[in-house]
């Protein structure tokens, strides 16, 4: 299941160009593929968009997308073709057996992806056929759910399911075009078949402003890419594994790790912005109208830049980063576990699915465990502050300018240093690598979480022991 660089077309030429630019050939191919979305969008708008025969639209997108996939992965393109064909056959023959269809479709794609990870993984984040395949896996699993929802009574569907349900089975060509949509197959974003169908039907073309909005997103993507490259050239990953980093003063260490995490995030953000810009440019992302009555082109946005840059908590990062994938997991995993009647278990299962979907590396599991722990702790702290601290000291605190400055500085510092802690394992992947970073910063992330947990549980215990309600701290009813 492995393919080397030589399996891709013109590997030697691409390698030479990449060497001149100081990047890997795989990264250069990825960047060129993302940028190819813009001329493809221009060609489609000028020559294909108004053609009445929908089959020609499907052929255009399938040809362009599959061609770009071959440009990146050569013969490895067969993995995605096989996955699409298996889903189509399952839908064709098992559509009336919903549970079997969903079970087999889910199991096949997750098993195939995990086998791919097993045979191709290394110590680094690999740009191999498994990268677009993990996008395809979600798309095909979601497609299977949408097909099954199309068989249900309308009143049995949620609002989201009504918007994505597929009462009719698309043709194989349409499924191929949907799966290989040029600006969506490589790194996302996720979108349902119904959005693709609405786009092909011309439902979005009567709205204006997409070209300008797409170019603004492109400019933002280029800006974040430049900041990322400059930042990571100053603070490369290798520095945090070196003895020199461990010798730096503790405060400086945790801030350096936090700034590095920001630059590392920008690597993903820049790519998402570039591909989103191409989707906006072609007019694919219409969401409705905004508060000013203007067309809103954020329907496939994968990052909320304002919240990302102004937020102060880990929950803000979760809400602003990889938005589309999180929405997909919410719709197709979290909400489908409603029958468990336990939000905590459903949330844990959703995070577990995300970790498995990313691969076998222990760093993924540690990163999502830390997300769960940190977000849960933030909610406890916020609740305690709102229910206990503010009622007692709110008048004094809110009238103090010094406190407001300290409050802002504390949240921003927390935002920076804990982002570094939480992202370290996600980037370094292997235990023997990310544990070096954890040790270099004295495991501060664990220590502060444990200190808070000890304080919070002690407060609740003493409140109960003294016969006092802990409702103030928990926001709930009086405990017995």
Give the alpha-carbon dihedral of 269, 274, 279, 283, to 10 degrees.
Answer: 110
For 125, other C-beta atoms within 10 Å of its C-beta total: 18
Q: Is position 442 annotated as part of the catalytic site?
A: no
Q: Exactly one of 105, 322, 324, 326 is catalytic; which is it? A: 322
- Using the 8-state DSSP alphabet, how is residue 321 labeled? B
Cα–chain-centroid distance for residue 461? 39
Alpha carbon 236 to chain centroid, angstroms:
23
Dihedral sign of CA atoms 426, 427, 429, 432 in order: negative
- Residue 297 · residue 210 · CB < 8 Å: yes
Q: To which H or E segment does residue 252 belong? A: helix 250-282
CA-based nearest residue to 353, from 104, 141, 97: 141
Distance in angstroms between the alpha carbons of the first and the last residue of the chain: 59
Of 425, 459, 429, nearest to 445 (Cα)? 425
C-alpha–C-alpha distance, residues 332 and 443, integer Å: 35
Angle between helices 98-120 and 78-94 (to 10 degrees): 170
The CB density around residue 2, as the number of other CB atoms within 10 Å, is 10
Catalytic site includes residue 358: yes
CA dist 279 and 339 (Å) reads 36
C-alpha span between 419 and 371 (Å, rounded)? 10
- How many angstroms from the chain centroid is the CA of residue 88? 26
Catalytic residue among 210, 358, 361, 415: 358
Contact predicate 33/68, CB 8 Å: yes
Pair 41, 35: CB distance under 8 Å: no
CB 5 within 8 A of CB 15: yes
| Distance of alpha carbon 467 from alpha carbon 464, whole angstroms | 5
> Under DSSP, is residue 391 helix (H, G, I), strand (E, B) or coil?
helix
Separation CA 363–CA 106 (nearest Å): 24
User: Which residues are known to be catalytic?
Assistant: 322, 358
């Amino acid at each position: 299941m492995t393919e080397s660089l030589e399996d891709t077309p013109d590997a030697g030429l691409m390698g030479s160009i990449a060497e001149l630019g100081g990047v890997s050939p795989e990264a250069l191919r990825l960047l060129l593929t993302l940028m190819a979305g813009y001329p493809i969008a221009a060609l489609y708008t000028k020559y294909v968009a108004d053609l009445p025969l929908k089959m020609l639209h499907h052929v255009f997108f399938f040809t362009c997308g599959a061609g770009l996939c071959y440009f990146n992965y050569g013969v490895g393109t067969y993995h995605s073709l096989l996955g699409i064909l298996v889903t189509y056959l399952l839908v064709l023959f098992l559509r009336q057996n919903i549970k079997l269809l969903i079970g087999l479709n889910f199991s096949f794609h997750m098993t195939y992806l995990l086998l791919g990870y097993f045979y191709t993984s290394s110590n680094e984040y690999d740009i191999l056929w498994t990268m677009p395949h993990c996008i395809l896996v979600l798309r095909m699993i979601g497609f299977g759910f949408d097909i099954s929802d199309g068989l249900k009574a309308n009143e049995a569907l949620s609002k989201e399911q009504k918007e994505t349900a597929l009462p009719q089975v698309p043709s194989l060509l349409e499924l191929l075009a949907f799966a290989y949509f040029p600006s969506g197959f490589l790194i996302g974003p996720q979108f349902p078949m119904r959005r693709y169908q609405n786009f092909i039907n011309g439902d979005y073309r009567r709205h204006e402003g997409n070209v300008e909005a797409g170019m603004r997103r492109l400019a933002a993507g280029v800006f974040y890419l430049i900041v990322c490259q400059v930042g990571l050239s100053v603070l490369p990953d290798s520095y945090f594994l070196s003895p020199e980093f461990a010798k730096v003063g503790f405060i400086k260490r945790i801030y350096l790790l936090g700034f590095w995490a920001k630059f590392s995030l920008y690597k993903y953000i820049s790519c998402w912005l570039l591909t989103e810009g191409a989707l906006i440019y072609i007019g694919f992302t219409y969401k409705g109208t905004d508060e000013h009555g203007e067309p809103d082109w954020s329907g496939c946005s994968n990052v909320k830049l304002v919240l990302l840059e102004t937020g102060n908590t880990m929950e803000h990062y979760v809400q602003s980063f990889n938005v589309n994938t999180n929405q997909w997991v919410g719709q197709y995993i979290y909400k489908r576990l409603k029958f468990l009647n336990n939000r905590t278990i459903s949330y844990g299962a959703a995070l577990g699915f995300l970790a498995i979907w990313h691969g076998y590396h222990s760093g993924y599991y540690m990163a999502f465990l830390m997300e769960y722990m940190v977000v849960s702790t933030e909610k406890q702290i916020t609740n305690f502050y709102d229910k206990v601290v503010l009622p007692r000291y709110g008048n004094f605190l809110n009238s103090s300018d010094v406190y407001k400055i300290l409050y802002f500085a504390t949240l921003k510092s927390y935002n920076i240093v804990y982002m570094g802690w939480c992202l370290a394992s996600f980037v370094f992947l292997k235990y023997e690598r990310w544990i070096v970073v954890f040790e270099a910063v004295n495991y501060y992330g664990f220590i502060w979480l444990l200190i808070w947990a000890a304080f919070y549980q002690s407060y609740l215990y003493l409140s109960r022991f003294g016969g006092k309600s802990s409702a103030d701290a928990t926001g709930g009813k009086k405990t017995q």
